[in-house]
Structure 1
């Protein structure tokens, strides 16, 4: 795919024709938190392009160090290290006249050739370029790419005018993607804010005839359900084939289990493993930070045979007339409940919660009719978020297609 006004072949060249590579700064951890702007891997991954104002990190270094590790307009920054080979060497471009410096897990490609900076960023994210970068990665449990590997990569470059046209076109699509992300963030902020008001009784619905719903009643976990464990006695070779099971990430990522994301585990008929079913609530039991402990998700699908991973436990309601599963999916993610869970987290370098401590907690619940009203409202906003994410996905598919078709 090409704009019709351009003819002629693109010229193949090594990255060293355009970039001079250098590894980033490693320094004492005590120097971070103040000083000059410091570009990290997260700045490369989390921004459409890098500017002085969207850099998060700061580091306190002298003038000589700043000069040695300075990043200027048009320089390309590469991710030097990654946990997966697919993410090695991801790149972004610095588009600001205020100089910054770059960190030890980053490789700077200093601009020494004549190229259009935004085009270079899109070129490096194209499937062709990514394949050439990935094969230069090395490692087993952790993957790295070096200056030598990047220097040996050959890519095709069009004339500057065509570079500019391609970059402007793709920038328009990126701006639309950024706008779509902001729309989603707006709705996610809305559902979080309204949910918090509803669960803290700062906002309440009325009955259909305009009357108040009954007062909320305090219930203990012990009296409205019971806990059960996830898979036990499984080895690495048991996974990848067999029956569906709910993975840790499914519980952590979403308040409602997305069963299409289940993994597979080999469970024989003679094993005594706990099956999950509609309405079950799952809690994560371990986390690196107390704020992420006890994340919950609810199964809202009828399933025949499905299991739960061993790093979570389940909670089965005694009656849906006391607590609605749909309501539970929102309530257990709200800060009013999350704050209680964080308080029972135990640990120092890693945090855990126990089933016995969780079921001692008390919660305040509205009538089942008010639960239905709250859940219905929040579900409608959730559906809007889902629709907006589907639109975003279409834009991302379109961008992926263009990156395949517009670059050699």
Structure 2
């Protein structure tokens, strides 16, 4: 029996194989000209990017005959599996089709599990995402440069399941958590849209703050190097970085490149990515960190500047900064282009008010994001303990 259980259930769970519940079939490989219209067809992205699949959220379509469609039909409760992947960890990922009204079909990189015995579709979907199920599926995959899973292999996968009433109870409980996560994500997206609108109105001066009923002075145009020193960081070798450490290393990407026990830049610093696919990305780092060789730091901010205002202004104009990139193989932004970037500045008092409004929204987004992280942790805990 599992570690956690609803009190009304006491029967032992039973070992089964997927072949007791599903028969397997590979998907359609149509000609290139067939795609773009016709029947909705499920591909790998539909499997990995949705909590569950419905007709409405399927991305692709394929033009096939009614006969072919009926032979490859996907109906309510069917399970879809990712057939191959470049990494063993991703092969065999699964999802469930939960549209009772409209069927679909499926592509050649997908294996369909057609229901032959009664089960709760959501329960089986959750069960196949648990660590024991994922480990068994991935361990049975084959290949070297690309990993594959076949129909026979999926048929042999063992699962431990329970009676339908308990399946339904577990599925309903986990679905309620997912609903809370979706609601929370919607709250975050709404805040982000609100902030985007506020930034546009504030930085285009459609909204102006007043002091005792009077507008603040006109905004002035300045070059970035007149209000901050643009300093390129120092590169660390991969061998000098660890997965955990005291100080993060910010380099050319959006996320840290790793961690180190030394720092070369103080906190509360604006950075701009210098090289790579995300060059021009604007970030604000609150703690001491190591600024890498593909990252610019804005240091010695002028006394008439509010640091957080400058960050919010540059973040709003991030796409313009990214347009300064040159090169194709490994794009980069040259320092001469960054230092010449034009900024329109209000007086310090108005900067302070704008920075406060936008930073308050950021703090709210951070708080709501932490709630989502906690809900996801809760979901993972229950996935580990409500199943065997």
TM-score by length of 2: 0.87
Q: Kindly provide the CA deviation profile for residues 312-335 of structure 1, in whole angstroms up to 9, marking residues without a partner as x.
A: 32132442424332223322221x
2:118: which partner in 1? 114
Does the alignment pair 1:281 with 2:270? yes
- 1:400 matches 2:386: no
- 1:239-270 Cα distance to aligned partner (Å, 9 max, x none): 32877342458x626xxxxxxx6723588xxx
- The equivalent of 1:256 in structure 2 is none
Which position in structure 1 is the counterpart of 2:22? 19
| 2:305 is the counterpart of 1:323 | yes
1:349–1:39 Cα change, 3 Å: farther
Are 2:217 and 1:214 equivalent residues in the alignment? yes
Q: Which residue of 1 aligns with 2:363?
A: 383
Mapped to 2, the partners of 1:309 and 1:30 lie a distance apart of 47
Check whether the contact 2:228–2:302 (CA below 8 A) recurs between aligned residues: no
Q: Quick one: which of 13, 28, 31 aligns to 1:10? A: 13
Cα distance change, pair 308–58 in 1 and its aligned pair in 2 (3 A)? farther
Q: Give the whole-Å Cα distance in 2 for the aligned partners of 1:103 and 1:309.
A: 43
What CA deviation, in whole Å up to 9, does each residue of 1:186-245 have, x standing for no partner? 1121112212211121222223x33212211111123333433334372x4333287734
**Distance change in 2, residues 1:190/1:112 (3 Å):** same
Decide which of 231, 235, 238 is 1:232's aligned counterpart. Answer: 235
Helix, strand or coil at the partner of 1:3: coil
SS of the residue aligned with 1:125? coil
| 1:39 alignment partner in structure 2 | 42
Q: Write the mapping of 1:250-289 to structure 2, written as runs, cut at 5 A.
A: 252=254, 263-265=258-260, 275-286=264-275, 288=277
Q: Which runs of 5+ in 1 are unaligned?
A: 254-260, 268-273
Structure 2: how far apart are the matches of 1:280 and 1:199? 21
Distance 2:210 2:355 in 1: 14
Instruction: Pick closer, same or farther for the CA change 1:139–1:278 going to 2, 3 Å.
Output: farther
Alignment of 1:32-111 (within 5 A): 32-82=35-85, 84-96=87-99, 97-111=101-115
**CA root-mean-square deviation:** 2.9
Larger mean CA deviation between 126-135 and 160-169 belongs to 126-135
Q: Alignment partner of 2:80: what SS? A: strand
Q: Provide the C-alpha distance between the structure 1 equivalents of 2:309 and 2:149, rounded to a whole number of angstroms.
A: 48
Paired residue total: 383
Consecutive unaligned residues of structure 2, counting only runs of 5 or more, are: none
Distance 1:285 1:33 in 2: 38
Change (3 A) 1:333 1:84: farther
Measured in 2, the distance between the counterparts of 1:280 and 1:164 equals 51
Secondary structure class of the residue paired with 2:15: strand
